[in-house]
Amino acid sequence: MNEFLLIILAYLIGSIPTSVWVSKQFFDIDIREYGSGNAGATNTFRVLGSKWGSFVMLVDVIKGVVATSLYLLLPHYLTNELYQTNFMLGLGIASILGHIFPIWANFKGGKGVATLLGMAVAIQPIVAVCCIGVFLIVLFLTRFVSLSSILAGIAFMVFILFVFNEQPTFYRIFAVMVALMVVLTHQKNIGRILNGTESKVTILRHRDRRKQRKSGDKA
């Protein structure tokens, strides 16, 4: 019974629609009516800029960390690592579902990548740091938040299955499901990247200005 209540609480935490509340409070718009129509960090970067995109991403990550860490409220999970990991996975999945289908925002949310990252931070911090590294490197090189999220999700599977070779079967299955989910939920983004129409975010303004000046000089 206690486990069920914590699963519900994890879902409610994941349901906090950070980007929707930010867009309405500070910009008097609904983020879901602009850009890709998605209520996640990627679309926030696209519509509201890197400052608010970073803020939304950070809060969504924290949602995943807090929800996944709710197992600490049940002391008997602290003495069995296998049960603990499985319950943490359940809590994390509940929070991700909350982010994708938020009860506070008419069940229309984001793709859950940032909340998934928060879940990874709580369960396997080293893997999470590696995935963050992949995300930041790809973002720096391409300025595509969507591509960075996709490759970070795939990296999560690679790290779990091959690099760190985690043994719990459910954990390994979950890693594969994560990679598939990230790819499937970013199909439109992949299409726009291939078509050359995906929006980029401004990371280093001076670098971008230099590129624009060079393009102007060539023209």
pLDDT at 218 over 80: no
- Structure tokens that stand for 139 in this block: 């973002």
The rounded percent of the chain whose pLDDT value lies above 70 is 92
pLDDT at 208 over 70: no
Residue 130 pLDDT: 96
CB neighbour list of residue 159: distance below 8 Å, 6 or more residues apart = 127, 130, 131
Average pLDDT estimate for 102-126: 94
Mean confidence (pLDDT) of the chain: 90
* The dihedral sign for the CA sequence 162, 144, 21, 33: negative
Average pLDDT estimate for 69-87: 89
Q: For residues 70 and 98, is the Cβ–Cβ distance under 8 A? A: no
Rounded to an integer, what distance in angstroms lies between the CA atom of residue 47 and that of residue 179?
A: 26
More confident residue, 155 or 207: 155
CA distances to 3, 8, 54 from 58, rounded to whole Å, are: 27, 22, 6
- pLDDT bracket for residue 206 (50, 70, 90): very low
- pLDDT bracket for residue 210 (50, 70, 90): low
Residue 13 pLDDT: 98
Could you state, in order of their start, the residue ranges of all structural domains in the chain?
A: 2-218
- pLDDT bracket for residue 136 (50, 70, 90): very high
pLDDT at 108 over 50: yes
Instruction: Give the residue from 17, 16, 118, 116 showing the smallest Cα distance to 69.
Output: 118
Average pLDDT estimate for 64-84: 91
Q: For residues 98 and 11, is the Cβ–Cβ distance under 8 A? A: yes
Output the DSSP codes for 171-196.
HHHHHHHHHHHHHHHTHHHHHHHHHT
pTM for this model (two decimals): 0.85
pLDDT at 157 over 80: yes
Residue 46 pLDDT: 87
H or E stretch including 33?
none
- pLDDT bracket for residue 214 (50, 70, 90): low
Average pLDDT estimate for 88-98: 95
